[in-house]
Amino acid sequence: MAGKTALIAGATGLVGNELLQFLLKEKEYEKVVALVRRPLAKNNPKLDEIIVDFDKLEDNRESFAVDDVFCCLGTTIKKAKTKEVMWKIDVDYPVAIAKLASSQGAKKFMLVSSMNADPNSPIFYSKMKGKLEEAIKKIPFESTSIFRPSLLLGNRQEFRLGERAAAAIFKKMPFLFAGPLKKYRAIEGKTVASAMYKAAQENKPGITIYPSEQIQKIGG
């Protein structure tokens, strides 16, 4: 299908930036709306960059009238400083985006969640992602795709010690993540972005959950 429109949130992040490249390059999309809080420094005739206050997304209600929505928002507890702020960024903003997009007639919603997302988990991060998924599943779209990647690999400007250490283990001892541990294999942000892009070109009705192994297969 030619001439679709897309909206992306989180385009300055690891997965979001890779995804933005796909959306701008591929012919399926004639317009890509990027909701950002700081400029992308990109010049592309397809790109409609909108600097927004994520606490007041409804002020840009009309921008949500697109075909496909890609949500790659998220933060770390180190950056957010409190669980409340992290919840706002990881749950409240994506849910607000999904509600506005659904009300404006968007058909597909693609969300980056995380491996081990579980609303009943005693672990804050897993519970937060599980609650996010629960909320997103209730918002009507023709198609909702939820991606649950393992540890993300890729070039980050910021230093994340835990992620770097884990990534080094994945890279140096890949044999550890064969067999039953395969599902914990780290995954490139670009692979997640590619899988999200490809899923959006399918016409799968209802809700589809993509575990990390499947993301690897589709996007790799």
Ligand X SMILES: NC(=O)c1ccc[n+]([C@@H]2O[C@H](COP(=O)([O-])OP(=O)(O)OC[C@H]3O[C@@H](n4cnc5c(N)ncnc54)[C@H](OP(=O)(O)O)[C@@H]3O)[C@@H](O)[C@H]2O)c1
Q: Which is nearer to ligand X, 3 or 217 (CB)?
A: 217
Residue where the block lists tokens 């005739």: 45
Select from 11-19, 95-103, 135-143, 200-208 the region that touches ligand X (CB under 6 A).
11-19
Told to check if 214 binds ligand X by CB under 6 A, we report no
Neighbours of 114 (CB within 10 A): 23
Binders in 69-98 for ligand X, by CB under 6 A: 72-75, 89-90
Select from 14-22, 41-49, 58-66, 171-179 the region that touches ligand X (CB under 6 A).
14-22
Told to check if 189 binds ligand X by CB under 6 A, we report yes
Active site residues: 125, 129
User: Site for ligand X (CB under 6 A): which residue of 20, 100, 114, 146?
Assistant: 114
Q: Please, where are the H alpha helices in the chain? A: 14-25, 77-80, 83-87, 93-103, 124-137, 161-172, 189-201, 212-219
CA dist., res. 57 & res. 113, Å (int): 21
Q: Which is nearer to ligand X, 3 or 124 (CB)?
A: 124
Residue 186 carries which side chain, given as an amino acid letter?
A: A
Told to check if 112 binds ligand X by CB under 6 A, we report yes
Dig out the tokens for 213 from the structure.
């192994």
